[in-house]
Amino acid sequence: MDTTLADDDSAGLGGCYWRPRHTVWWTYTPTASGRLHTSVGSDLPSASPESFPGPWLAVARLTATGPVPLVPSGPTPDEDCPSPVSAADVRVEPGTTYLIGVFAAEYWQEPALAVGGRLTLDAGFLRDTAPTAPTGVLVHRDDRARTATLTWTPPSSDGGSPITGYQVARDGTDTGGTGPWSTVLPATARIITFKYLLPWRSYHLSVRAINAIGTGPAAGGNVMLTAPTASEPRSVSATAGNRSATVRWTAPSHTGSSAVRSYRIRRYAGSTQTLQATSTVAATARGFSARGLANGRSYRFDVTAVNASGTGLVSARTKPVTPAP
């Protein structure tokens, strides 16, 4: 039982037309950051119909210089002093001690709560968590600029801790050969544009909210840029023969803005980047025989579809093949 804090107007708990009396105080020291919700109830009868009995709540943070009141925390807009409350929701930090007080109040000269009966304090702690996923996520593509733009709005819940940033990412490979990529943007960010994307590739773009607790789940979408030229031929392979090699492929998944007119086949020396020869075959072809090769030396090949708009994406190179008698 302690009346020192409750009866001290300088602590922000009493004053004006009500005065705290019959107080009980608890201390609480959380081990994690979060929100503390408290409410109080009582079956104590009022001593007078005109009294202002409560019970009411007070919450204060304990510091080296004394308690700092959190609830009641200040006057209401139409009053000159704090109004007492029966429920409070305050943010608490780990390692800090808080005082939770329950008290009755006297209204002018009217008596406070009658002695005898039950006083009930309910308290619950909600630990801070990582944020939920960002909302309102949209993906817009720009085929001409070879870019895709991701926009979003903040998560429906910040987990109890303010958002400090957003992690944005994409999978796949760009035109410069850079693989999956991500970065962290400030908490005010709502948009990012991913550049240097390849056409006819499916990219997944995502965004995650970050707070002091951690990184939340991702939200995002898929995007595929189109182009007037074709995508790469598929299932490209090479088989070695005597002083020769046979290259085979299947048609590209996307021909672009016009039909495929021809296929370009390039030959490389072994696993090097040295281009040795370029050949062209008809659009109906699905194979090509490279002749006059040296037995005992290895070669690799790639294939590109060509339409009226130009050469499309280049296929992956085949594994090295070595002709032999």
Residue 41: what pLDDT?
A: 78
Nearest by Cα to 156 from 226, 214, 103, 217: 217
- The residues, ordered by sequence, that sit 6+ positions from 254 with a Cβ below 8 Å of its Cβ are 200, 226, 230, 231
Residue 110: what pLDDT?
A: 43
Residue 212: what pLDDT?
A: 93
| Length of the chain (residues) | 325
- Do the domains 9-127 and 135-224 sit in the same CATH topology, yes or no? no
CB atoms within 10 A of CB 260: 20
Digit-by-digit pLDDT tens for the chain (325 residues) are 344 444 444 444 544 555 566 677 888 999 999 999 999 877 665 544 445 556 778 888 888 988 888 887 655 555 566 677 888 899 999 999 998 887 766 554 444 444 556 667 888 999 999 999 999 999 999 999 999 999 999 999 999 999 999 999 999 999 999 999 999 999 999 999 999 999 999 999 999 999 999 999 999 999 999 999 999 999 999 999 999 999 999 999 999 999 999 999 999 999 999 999 999 999 999 999 999 999 999 999 999 999 999 999 999 999 999 999 9
- Distance separating alpha carbons of residues 52 and 107, to the nearest angstrom: 5
Residue type present at position 301: F
Residue 10: what pLDDT?
A: 40
Residue 187: what pLDDT?
A: 98
Determine the CATH number of domain 9-127. 2.60.120
Helix, strand or coil, per DSSP, at residue 74: coil
Rg, the chain, Cα only: 37
CATH class of the region 234-314:
mainly beta
Which CATH architecture group holds 135-224?
Answer: Sandwich (2.60)
- Distance separating alpha carbons of residues 257 and 308, to the nearest angstrom: 8
Residue 292: what pLDDT?
A: 95
Nearest by Cα to 159 from 182, 192, 131: 131
- Distance separating alpha carbons of residues 288 and 286, to the nearest angstrom: 7
Supply the pTM of this predicted model.
Answer: 0.74
Backbone φ, ψ for residue 11 (5° rounding): -80, -5
Tokens 């929100």 sit at which residue? 35
- Residue spans of the domains in the chain: they are 9-127, 135-224, 234-314
- Distance separating alpha carbons of residues 198 and 17, to the nearest angstrom: 72
